[in-house]
Structure 1
Amino acid sequence: MPSPHVLVLTYDLKDDAHAARVCELLSERGARVTVFSPEHFQSTSRVDLRYVDGAVRRRLHTNGEILDLDALTALWWRRPTPIVPDPALTDEAIARYTVKECHSLLAGLWEHLRCPQLPARESTFRRAGHKPYQLALAAELGFRIPETVITTSEEAFLDFHDRHDGRIVTKPLDIPWVEGVGGGITVSRACEPVTARDLAHTDALRFCPVIVQEQIPKRVELRVTVVGRQIFAAEIHSQVSNRARLDWRRYDTHVTPHRIHRLPDEVAARCLALTDRLGLRYGAMDLIVTPDGRYVFLEINPNGQWLWIEHLTGLPISEAVRDILLEGA
């Protein structure tokens, strides 16, 4: 029987500790692992699809290898970098056009492979990442969610602010950073309280949507990682750190305790139901446990990080990712 062959779409393993850890575990099980990122596709790789007598054959030529993509046992959408134009393309319009065409080729190629994919096929996990869709579906499944408005309206924002006596937070709808600000600076933005200065600029909402939510009191925050049918829940005691109090992603792990958490059965069932409805085989959820013990859903990331949780709690998440990638074999 041939060895399992897993294709991992990510950038260099030296810069992706999550992929490096899982690839190591896969290799220990005898799997063949190929890492590929489309960034330099034009310069270093080739693809050919052949349609003969009703059959399709797909080949990827990269790093001196010829990969039979129809023989893959799993594809892992980790964190591939976008295609950049080959330096030989000096006309910017032509360069942009060819990159779009190459992206279309690869997107269609991955979408129609027969092997299982993690977290899902691209069209599925892109849709699953839409926060308005997540919130509506979570509420439908019985999760408590914060009262929320997603708006480009100054009037709607101010009405929400007044109804909650200013105890509200804002979040980006999709992209948590802006590149090239002020001549090259990258500005990141997480969950932020609304300040008096923000209120002076609410007319700018017409340019860009924002998520606005009531500020939920926290006992602890949870990172709930779902891998297939397994659930790994970790408490993040963010309230002991001034830096991480509002958003634990301002990582303060030296001060913030992390512990294994036992989810109530009904909450665990909702977590599995949510990934099922989203079509995901992997998902990293953020929840709040309030001081009175209520579980409040915030969001799910179809490709969220987990390694720091594993290191701090011992939860075997990497092994679970390895195992689900081997299921296709």
Structure 2
Amino acid sequence: MPSPHVLVLTYDHEEDAHASRVCDLLVGRGARTTVFNPASFQSRSRVDLCYLDDAVGRRLHIGDETVDLDTLTALWWRRPRPVAADPVLTDETIADYTVKECQSLLTGLWEHLSCPQLPARESVFRRAGHKPYQLALAAELGFQIPETVITTSEEAFLDFHDRHDGRIITKPLNIPWVEDAGGEIVMSRACEPVAARDVAYTDALRFCPVIVQERIPKRVELRVTVVGRQVFAAEIHSQVANHARFDWRRYDIRVTPHLVHRLPDEVATRCLALTDRLGLRYGAIDLIVTPDGRYVFLEINPNGQWLWIEHLTGLPISQAFCDILLEGA
């Protein structure tokens, strides 16, 4: 029987610690792994899709390696970069055209492969990342969610602000950073409390939507990582430092304890139901545990990070990734 063969789409095997960790484990379990960065497609790779009377074949050539895409046992959509133009294409109009055509080819190619995909096919996990959809579905499944307004209206914002006596937070709808023309990040936004001075600028909301939520009191925050049917929950004690009080992503690992958390069975069941309904085989769910013990859903990232949780808590998340990537074999 041939060895399992997993194709990993990511920006760089050496720089992506998550991909490196899982690939090493897969190789140790007898699998073949191929890492492909679509950004280098024009300069380092080529593809052949053949639809003939007597055969159908799809092959990806990466340097000297040829991958028969129809024999893959799994595809992991990790963190690929979009196709970049080969430097030899000096005409910007032509370069842009070829990049769009190459991207269209690859997008359709991954979408229609028959092997299992993690976290899901691109069209599925892109839809699953839509935060308004997540909130509605979480509430339907029985999660408590914060009171929320997603708006471009100054009036709606001010009404919500008054409803909660100013104890509200804002966060971006989709993209948490602003890039300049060269792709450099010039500003990032996380979960932010609304200060009195911010209210003076609410007329600018007409230019860009924002998520506005009531400020939920926190005992701890949870990162719940779902891999297949396995659920790993970690406490992030974000309230021990002012820097991380409103958004744990501002934490300093040296002063922010991370501990394994025992999820109540009904909460774990809801987490599994959420990934099922979203069509995901993986998801990183953010919850709050309030001082009075309530579990409040914030969002799910269909392709979120987990390695720091594994390192700090010992939860075997990478092994769970290997388990699910080898299921197709």
Aligned AA (1:301) = N
Q: Which residue of 2 aligns with 1:221?
A: 221
Is residue 137 from structure 1 mapped to residue 137 from structure 2 by the alignment? Answer: yes
Q: Which residue of 2 aligns with 1:254?
A: 254
State how far apart, in whole Å, the 2-side matches of 1:273 and 1:4 are.
Answer: 29
Listed as ranges, the matches of 1:146-225 within 5 Å are: 146-180=146-180, 186-225=186-225
Kept after mapping to 1: 8 A contact 2:238/2:251: no
User: Secondary structure, in 3 states, of the residue corresponding to 2:311?
Assistant: helix
Distance 1:293 1:31, change over 3 A: same
Q: Which residue of 2 aligns with 1:307?
A: 307
Instruction: Report how many aligned residue pairs link the two structures.
Output: 329
State how far apart, in whole Å, the 2-side matches of 1:23 and 1:293 are.
Answer: 39
Aligned AA (1:240) = V
1:45-89 Cα deviation digits (max 9, x unpaired): 111111122753101011211110000000000000111111121
State how far apart, in whole Å, the 2-side matches of 1:219 and 1:197 are.
Answer: 28
User: Secondary structure, in 3 states, of the residue corresponding to 2:250?
Assistant: coil
Q: Which residue of 1 aligns with 2:10?
A: 10
Q: Which residue of 2 aligns with 1:293?
A: 293
Aligned AA (2:254) = H
What is the RMSD computed on CA atoms of the aligned residues? 1.4
State how far apart, in whole Å, the 2-side matches of 1:184 and 1:80 are.
Answer: 17
Q: Which residue of 1 aligns with 2:116?
A: 116
Q: Which residue of 1 aligns with 2:283?
A: 283
Distance 1:25 1:185, change over 3 A: closer
State how far apart, in whole Å, the 1-side matches of 2:168 and 2:140 are.
Answer: 23
Name structure 1 gaps, 5 residues minimum: none
Aligned AA (1:146) = P
State how far apart, in whole Å, the 2-side matches of 1:293 and 1:154 are.
Answer: 34
Aligned identity (percent) is: 82
User: Secondary structure, in 3 states, of the residue corresponding to 2:293?
Assistant: coil
Kept after mapping to 1: 8 A contact 2:45/2:60: yes
User: Secondary structure, in 3 states, of the residue corresponding to 1:200?
Assistant: helix
Q: Which residue of 2 aligns with 1:233?
A: 233
State how far apart, in whole Å, the 2-side matches of 1:181 and 1:240 are.
Answer: 38
Alpha-carbon offset, residue 185 of structure 1: 5.3
Q: Which residue of 1 aligns with 2:244?
A: 244
Distance 1:302 1:114, change over 3 A: same
Distance 1:267 1:55, change over 3 A: farther
Aligned AA (1:24) = D
Kept after mapping to 2: 8 A contact 1:168/1:212: yes
State how far apart, in whole Å, the 1-side matches of 2:215 and 2:193 are.
Answer: 8
Is residue 97 from structure 1 mapped to residue 97 from structure 2 by the alignment? Answer: yes
Alpha-carbon offset, residue 21 of structure 1: 0.3
Moved over 4 A (4+): 181-185
Aligned AA (1:327) = E
Aligned AA (2:137) = L
Aligned AA (1:119) = P
Alpha-carbon offset, residue 197 of structure 1: 2.5
User: Secondary structure, in 3 states, of the residue corresponding to 1:13?
Assistant: coil
Kept after mapping to 2: 8 A contact 1:237/1:256: yes
Alpha-carbon offset, residue 243 of structure 1: 1.0
State how far apart, in whole Å, the 2-side matches of 1:171 and 1:290 are.
Answer: 20
State how far apart, in whole Å, the 2-side matches of 1:15 and 1:200 are.
Answer: 43
Q: Which residue of 2 aligns with 1:324?
A: 324
Name structure 2 gaps, 5 residues minimum: none
Kept after mapping to 2: 8 A contact 1:4/1:72: yes
State how far apart, in whole Å, the 1-side matches of 2:4 and 2:237 are.
Answer: 40
Q: Which residue of 2 aligns with 1:86?
A: 86
1:223-259 Cα deviation digits (max 9, x unpaired): 0000000000001111111111111001211111111
State how far apart, in whole Å, the 1-side matches of 2:88 and 2:197 are.
Answer: 48
Q: Which residue of 1 aligns with 2:62?
A: 62
Kept after mapping to 2: 8 A contact 1:181/1:187: no
State how far apart, in whole Å, the 1-side matches of 2:21 and 2:220 are.
Answer: 28
User: Secondary structure, in 3 states, of the residue corresponding to 1:225?
Assistant: strand
Which shows bigger deviation, 185-194 or 116-125? Answer: 185-194
1:191-237 Cα deviation digits (max 9, x unpaired): 00111232111111111100000000001100000000000000111
State how far apart, in whole Å, the 1-side matches of 2:61 and 2:305 are.
Answer: 30
Aligned AA (2:257) = P
Is residue 28 from structure 1 mapped to residue 28 from structure 2 by the alignment? Answer: yes
User: Secondary structure, in 3 states, of the residue corresponding to 2:7?
Assistant: strand
State how far apart, in whole Å, the 1-side matches of 2:110 and 2:245 are.
Answer: 40
Which shows bigger deviation, 195-204 or 156-165? Answer: 195-204
Distance 1:228 1:184, change over 3 A: closer
Aligned AA (1:34) = T
